[in-house]
Amino acid sequence: MENEFVLYVEGPVEDLMDELYEAECDDAGIENINANYHRFDFIREAETFQVAVRSAVDAVNGIDGLEVVAVDNDVNATQIAERLGRTRQWVDYLIRGERGPGGFPCGVGGQRNPLYDWGNVALWLERNGYSDLLEPGEVDRALTLTWEGARVAQQRIARIIGEREGHPPLTIA
């Protein structure tokens, strides 16, 4: 099964292209954001979506000098509207509670154009009668990206704090 997702990676990618190929990351298109940060657009064959995402994260993190810093799962209102085949105004009404049951998931960043975690949004849509607007399996894919993103953040923060002088290492429960 073909699975598409995006990882954000820190490190000198240009210097490590051979290592990426050997780690079987040749299924990613790489866009340089700046000299040290890169966007990896994966199209990975795997039995499940989670296996695809986790294997890519683990492969990149297994290369000395590279680290996955984020799993892309944030969307703005325009992107939500595009995914649902609705207008931006329709989504804005959901967000403000002027349409639907209210309680739309809170934003995770941004002020003028807030970002939302797609996993939380897709789950809210499913639980509130809008599942017909979602692609089959979309809630599971979105929640998997949320889960894997949290796992990446937790591992990264535990490592960074553990490297700080005088701070005991954190463990992941």
Query: Residue 11 sits in which domain range?
Result: 2-72
State pLDDT tens for residues 112-170.
889 999 999 999 999 999 999 999 999 999 999 999 999 999 989 888 887 877 777 66
CB atoms within 10 A of CB 172: 8
- Specify the residue for token string 């297994």: 62
What global pTM score does this model have? Answer: 0.87
Domain holding 65: CATH number? Answer: 3.30.70
Mean pLDDT of the 40-44 span:
97
Q: What one-letter code names the amino acid at 91? A: V
Domain boundary among 29, 48, 72: 72
In a domain, 144, yes or no: no
In a domain, 162, yes or no: no
One domain, residues 22 and 49: yes
